[in-house]
Amino acid sequence: MVLSSVGKTTSVIALVVGTLSVLFYKPLVSKIDTLHDLPRAWHPFDGGTVDIRFADVIKYSEDVVIDHDRGIAIVSFDPTRSEWNTVMGVFKNPDPRGSLFIYDYASTGSVKELKLTGFPAAVDFHPLGVNFFRSSPDASTRLFVANHQRTGSNIAIFDVDYDSHEAKYIQTVSDNDNTIISPNSISPVSYTQFYVTNDHRYIARTSTILNKIETFLSRPWSWVTFVDFSSPKNLKCTIVADDIGFANGVLVTPTGKEVVVAATSSDSIYIYERDPETNLLSKSRKSIPVNFHPDNLNFDDSLDISDPTVFDAEGRFLRGVTVGGHPSMIKLFRMSRSPESINAPSWVAEIRRGRGVDPAPCPAGPEQEEFHVRTLYQDNGSHFPSSSTGALDSKRGHLLVSALYGKGILLISWKV
Ligand X SMILES: *[C@@H]1O[C@H](CO)[C@@H](O)[C@H](O)[C@H]1NC(C)=O
Which residues of the chain form contacts with ligand X (CB under 6 A)? 40, 380-382
- Cβ 326 to ligand X, closest distance in Å? 14
- If the CB atoms of residues 325 and 385 are measured against ligand X, the closer one turns out to be 385
- If the CB atoms of residues 277 and 340 are measured against ligand X, the closer one turns out to be 340
- If the CB atoms of residues 4 and 341 are measured against ligand X, the closer one turns out to be 341
Instruction: Give the helix/strand (H/E) hosting 209.
Output: helix 208-216
Instruction: Give the helix/strand (H/E) hosting 388.
Output: strand 387-393
- Cβ 347 to ligand X, closest distance in Å? 14
| Residue 138 assigned as binding residue | no
> Could you write out the DSSP letters of every residue in 132-198?
EE-SSTTS-EEEEEEEEETTEEEEEEEEEETTTTEEEEEEEE--TTSS-SSEEEEEEEETTEEEEEE
- Cβ 329 to ligand X, closest distance in Å? 16
CB 276 within 8 A of CB 259: no
Q: Pick from 138, 129, 186: which is nearest to 162 by CA? A: 138
Distance CA 101, CA 104 (A): 10
CB 195 within 8 A of CB 225: yes
3-state secondary structure of 374: strand
Q: Phi, psi (5° rounding) for residue 285?
A: -145, 155
For the chain, state the CA radius of gyration: 20
CB 103 within 8 A of CB 409: yes
- Cβ 39 to ligand X, closest distance in Å? 6
3-state secondary structure of 232: coil
Instruction: Give the helix/strand (H/E) hosting 6.
Output: helix 2-23
| Residue 154 assigned as binding residue | no
| Residue 291 assigned as binding residue | no
Distance CA 288, CA 352 (A): 10
- Cβ 330 to ligand X, closest distance in Å? 14
- If the CB atoms of residues 184 and 378 are measured against ligand X, the closer one turns out to be 378
- Cβ 63 to ligand X, closest distance in Å? 25
| Residue 63 assigned as binding residue | yes
- Cβ 60 to ligand X, closest distance in Å? 19
**What is residue 65's DSSP assignment?**
E
- If the CB atoms of residues 31 and 36 are measured against ligand X, the closer one turns out to be 36
Distance CA 384, CA 10 (A): 37
- If the CB atoms of residues 254 and 381 are measured against ligand X, the closer one turns out to be 381
Alpha helices, DSSP H only, in 217-357?
329-337
- Cβ 31 to ligand X, closest distance in Å? 20
Distance CA 213, CA 16 (A): 11
- If the CB atoms of residues 202 and 377 are measured against ligand X, the closer one turns out to be 377
- Cβ 327 to ligand X, closest distance in Å? 11
Cα torsion 141, 104, 306, 192 to 10°: value is: -20
| Residue 69 assigned as binding residue | no
Q: Phi, psi (5° rounding) for residue 276?
A: -65, -20
- If the CB atoms of residues 148 and 383 are measured against ligand X, the closer one turns out to be 383
- If the CB atoms of residues 284 and 341 are measured against ligand X, the closer one turns out to be 341
* Cβ-proximal residues to 342 (8 Å cutoff; 6+ apart), any chain: 331, 334, 335
- Residues belonging to the binding site are 63, 184, 248, 295-296
Residues that constitute the known binding site for Ca(2+): 63, 184, 248, 295-296
